[in-house]
Structure 1
């Protein structure tokens, strides 16, 4: 079986441990999965090589950075606008975190992070001017849940 298709229960445990803490040492992981550190290192290297582990990241406390509010902005575009145009228009606004182009109404759902209501208003204004936008609807995030435990 090729490397890309074979992720066993030990690999899954290693992945779970790294998702919880990407800075966890190979020795700590080895203790959890009852393998030698070198065996764990080989498994991690293989998971990286085949693309199962695509990278590592830092989890920020956005409140401490002054941008603790998130919102979703629905964007409606005029006429028959290409997906690339929608994405390009939305990503021109620096506060945009993600753009989801969707089937149906609206044309896109955009996740933004802002410092407050006035900042959100400014971001919405810039989104409206970013392309042939004919309408927006904003949903302020009150709370969030993620399967990986991060909020």
Structure 2
């Protein structure tokens, strides 16, 4: 990545064993499940599941609980992926700070290849996307962009990585 300095990886302070992984997968599939329900699946009592979840939260292995909402339900009809090409010595923190104030930005990641970062953008329509793209392209750390509109999302996985 020509213009981006690498960031340090965050490593949780705890290694997940098989039961921890099963608990994480259960929560990733449905964070509203009760500890008793998860416990019956993994062979632990509800208090034992709660202790493990608390430990995983404290260690940073679980970073929070959330709800997934279809962007279309919120009026975001258009999705795009934007490659950012950054000016020399732009840090990932600079990119994060520069994009954080855009409610249309769903995710941003530094990447390998010619681009420095890839940004997932949701907008009400193509005109709205164009306005957002122009604002992002005008950020001081951006030298140029390249974007593609998503026609049909084919596969999306959320939560714990890997198969359950």
> Given the two structures, how large is their TM-score scaled by the length of structure 1?
0.79
Q: Deviations over 1:69-95 (max 9, x none)?
A: 2211122345x2522544444444331
Query: Residue 105 of structure 1 aligns with which residue?
Result: 114
1:19 paired to 2:28 = yes
Query: Residue 36 of structure 1 aligns with which residue?
Result: 45
Return the index of the structure with the highest Cα Rg: 1
Which stretches in structure 1 are left out of the alignment for 5+ residues? Answer: none
Q: Is the 8 A contact 1:93 1:126 kept in 2?
A: no
Q: State the Cα distance separating 1:21 from its structure 2 match.
A: 0.5
Q: Which shifted more, 86-95 or 108-117?
A: 86-95
1:118 is paired with a residue whose SS is helix
Query: Residue 82 of structure 1 aligns with which residue?
Result: 90
Query: Residue 125 of structure 1 aligns with which residue?
Result: 134
Q: Which residue among 131, 142, 145 is the counterpart of 2:155? A: 145
Task: Name the structure where helix makes up a greater proportion of residues.
Answer: 1
Aligned residues: 146
Query: Residue 66 of structure 1 aligns with which residue?
Result: 75
Which stretches in structure 2 are left out of the alignment for 5+ residues? Answer: 1-12
1:4 is paired with a residue whose SS is coil
Q: Which shifted more, 106-115 or 18-27?
A: 106-115
Distance 1:35 1:101, change over 3 A: closer
RMSD: 2.6
Q: Deviations over 1:111-138 (max 9, x none)?
A: 1111111111111111122226443211
Q: Distance in 1 between matches of 2:86 and 2:56?
A: 41
Q: State the Cα distance separating 1:104 from its structure 2 match.
A: 4.8
Higher relative contact order (CA 8 A, sep 6+): 2
